[in-house]
Chains A and B, each alone.
Chain A
Amino acid sequence: MSTLTDPEVISLREITKAFPGVVANDRISLDIVSGQVHCLLGENGAGKSTLISILAGLQQPDSGSISINGVEAAITSPRASVDYGIGVVHQHSTLVPAFTVLENLMLGESGVMQEKKRAKERLDELSELLGAELDPQALASDLGLGQQQQVEIAKAIWKGSRLLILDEPTSMLTPQAIEHLSESVERVKAQGLAVVFITHKLREAYSMGDCVTVLRSGRNVGHISVEELASFDEHEAQESILRAMFGEDINSVGDDAAELAGATEAVRETRSIDLSSRPVRLELDAVSSRGLGRDVDVDGISVKVHEGEILGIAGIDGHGQGALAEVVAGQRPASAGSLRFDGEDVTKLGVRGRQHLGVRYVTDDRLHEGTVGSMSVALNLVIKRIGERPFWRFGQIQRKVVDAEALRLIGEYGIRTPSPATRAGTLSGGNIQKILLARELTDGARLVVVNKPTYGLDLKTVHLVREILIEFAANGGSVILLSSDLDELVELSHRIEIMSGGKIVGSVVNDKPGTAEKVGHFMTGAIEGAQ
């Protein structure tokens, strides 16, 4: 391991990688130095994950080279990448839920015999290094997201790494968990490892990063060196990152820039409405559910959503939000209670029946539930209207009509895709989310349930998604917004209900400052009450 006086440098030179219709990485050069946190920023689809997958040996660049301390490194496979001491925590969890922490960590071992004892020692070492308590016998599925993240990091640096790469590690974490993570990163850095940190949050880039590189359309469009970043205050840093990220486009975002950056305190942006004068669109009356999975079910929930209202549901992730969304969408049957939509009892109606009435659902599992990655963007856009006119006639698909509709939605929602025929799974996270929104909000939507609509999205897309929801409500649509991001809830919701353990434990009307504190109070109260 090198000392701080003799830093190691991993140099990427002219890395280029093209996919059909897009150049994901376009002659990217950058240096990653040991003992530093190198932040990588850029809008959705800028090419961050692609660059990481090249470092991880999952993809081969079309051209360009990688060298470590001036010596060319041939990262031809994931194995080779690990051998070079590169550890990656990917955007999506790779832990095996049914395995224990220790088993997950030992998955990468190549030896025939499992050396449990040595593994335990290594885990202790890493636990201390990360400043986290990792129970080797706990099942991965029983861990919270923050702890899972720690296990992923331990897994990534299991082999005494030289470089730790974190691809959007904070997008699903609570503020406390982010705090823990940032401490762990500090410690890893102090050990002399290099860290690459991908995020969409400028605040994190400023507070955790030593230097910043910004990618746009596959190119390296801006670098803030260690010295520069140290000399900037937070505002200056944000300015210069935003300028690099969006170039001239920044004008279109305008005054919202600071707000996008999360620098100001959130205030409600939705127009106020008089709830008492609005008809009730959806009413849940003591609804309970019983799913097949292991997640928390809803337990005797009663809520009302009015026409034109955005109802926020706050709560720590995994407290029945998923079940609530599914019960409303009709994907999970209600075992007790009833649901009324526009006065009509829909308790017994399935997904398609409710879909026809105008109930829509934007799921938080964009990749496996919300889209079929192997199918085209066009098909994904009409996937909920299979068999319906004008897209199908006499049971036969009308490809021209489907393509026309796809082009319309692609244009209206600004989905960036090489063509309607591109496989949806290859689009970047933000664009996949736009597919979901476009599909759910079109064609007579009256109520939409959105679950964590903006996680993992870049600043501009976050802004766009929120605008879309605000406009939908302003036109008389109703929104149930499930989110673990308090700022988002405060910005959009008329009312916020707080959920914990599958129950509603409090309700706050969002009409004056201080909503966030009240919601936070209910949340901690619920947790303490449960203990």
Chain B
Amino acid sequence: MKSAENDKAKNLLDGLVRSILPVILALLVAGLIMLAMGSNPIDFFSGVWTYGVTGSNLQRSLVLSAPLILVAVGLIVAFRGQLWNLGYNGQYLLGAVVASGAGPYLFASMPAWLATIVIILGALLVGAVWSLVPAILKARYGTNEIITSLVMSFIGVGIANLLIKGPLKDPNTPQPQTEVIADSYLLPYIPGTVIHIGLIIAIVIAIVAQFIFSRTSFGLRLDIFGASPKAARHVGINSTWMVILLFAVSSALIALAGAIDVLGQYSYQRANWDPHYGDAVMPFVFLARLSPLAAIPLVVFYAILATGGTLAAQQAGLNADFLLVIVGLILIFMTITEYVGDRRKLGQSYLPPGLKTTVVRLFQGGTGRKSS
């Protein structure tokens, strides 16, 4: 079965090209834009390297990676079932508020390890329950989950803010924020580093998810469900239960990201604070072709870009929002690569012939297509 092995190698290469090419192209074009804006792209990228990787900066980037990986895995769980959970901002903040709100009381009244476990379970539960509304509406009435989860997200963000401004507000500060959890109660560091163990939790969850998706019967059921709800029904998969379960797990993991971020890094939560992790992670989830393990390096890459980029952008005379431009460019190039890749595989194209030849020629060298 030599050809099968060749095929496998080719597929792997193909996948790699498809995941990395858009990132490289986006960085190149971002550089050109910087030039056009009169900034020096070399300054910017070396700044990203300096502030994102060198010295202890890599550790800062990895700390940021922990919640990002959890959010990514959360999104992947839903997306694999073709459920578009876009309520991640609300889910994240509600998870965070469980930690920042309940933390000060729990740590005061029980051993730290127990409080931590209670907080984590509480965040998972809140996330899961919060997802029930869009999930049940979807499962029972086929309501579009994009809209319902977004609406629930707005409500979730609002509730988190109201809680922080109201009952959970630390009376000792004028700002609307929660009481600070003492350093000694926060998640411990990985020995020899200043990275909290949330990163390990996140990576373990990603590995477990990967295993479940690729090796277990549940993973296969999930793939069937994602590929064709009709086939799922035919095979005897209970789609109501599947929608509810996927939404619950997805949302619970994203809420966990919030709790871990507070317990590991921030130690308190300010009102109107929202890091929008889901928005940033979204393109990388697709670049990783919904594989949790493949998402890790991509997410770490983004974490470095985000950590180093903020300072580097200032240094290069750019606004920090320039990071979003790069993320946007990645999305655009991803779409183009996808089009071209699909065309090569299925022989179908929706691009007009003129544009197609130009674009395809551009990519032919890079993807090693044998000429016909």
Contact = CB atoms under 8 A, between A and B. Distances in A.
A352 B236 contact: yes
A369 B228 contact: yes
Contact of B224 (A53, A361, A383, A396): A383
B167 interface: no
Nearest to A354: B236
Interface in A343-389: 350-352, 355, 361, 363, 365, 368-375, 379, 383-384, 386-387
A80 B351 CA distance: 12
A372 B231 contact: yes
B235 A386 contact: yes
Contacts of A235: none
B172 interface: no
Interface stretch (A57-65, A123-131, A248-256, A298-306): A57-65
B233 interface: yes
A164 B66 CA distance: 59
Contact of A372 (B228, B351, B352, B372): B228
Contacts of B7: 20
A396 B220 CA distance: 10
B234 A396 contact: no
Contacts of A369: 228, 230-231, 233-234
B143 interface: no
A331 interface: yes
Given A59-B347, A76-B353, A79-B353, A372 B236 contact: no
Given A58-B347, A63-B372, A397-B216, A375 B223 contact: yes
Interface string B200-215: 0000000000000001
A372 B4 contact: no
Contacts of A363: 234
Contacts of A370: 231, 234
B216 A395 contact: yes
Contacts of B273: none
A395 B218 contact: yes
Tell me what chain B mostly uses at the interface: helix, strand, loop, or mixed.
helix
Nearest to B218: A395
Interface string B349-361: 1011100100000
B155 interface: no
A299 B282 CA distance: 48
A419 interface: yes
Contacts of A421: 4
A361 B234 contact: yes
A99 interface: no
Nearest to B347: A59
B217 A395 contact: yes
Nearest to B214: A397
B348 to A, nearest CB: 6
A373 B217 CA distance: 18
Nearest to A50: B347
B146 interface: no
Contacts of B238: 350
Nearest to B234: A369
B227 interface: yes
B289 interface: no
Nearest to A75: B353
- Which residue of B216, B227, B231, B347 has the most chain A CB atoms within 10 A of its CB atom? B231
B165 interface: no
Contacts of A368: 228, 230-231
Contacts of B235: 351, 383-384, 386
A53 B347 CA distance: 10
Contacts of A386: 217, 220-221, 235
B339 to A, nearest CB: 13
A324 B218 CA distance: 29
Closest A-B pairs by Cβ, 9 of them: A351-B236, A387-B217, A352-B236, A59-B347, A369-B230, A76-B353, A395-B216, A386-B217, A372-B227
20 contacts: A53-B347, A59-B347, A76-B353, A77-B356, A80-B353, A331-B234, A351-B234, A351-B236, A369-B230, A369-B234, A372-B223, A372-B231, A387-B217, A387-B218, A395-B216, A395-B217, A395-B218, A396-B215, A396-B216, A397-B216
Given A384-B236, A386-B221, A397-B217, 14 more contacts: A58-B348, A59-B347, A63-B372, A351-B233, A351-B235, A355-B236, A368-B230, A369-B228, A369-B231, A372-B227, A373-B227, A384-B235, A387-B217, A387-B218
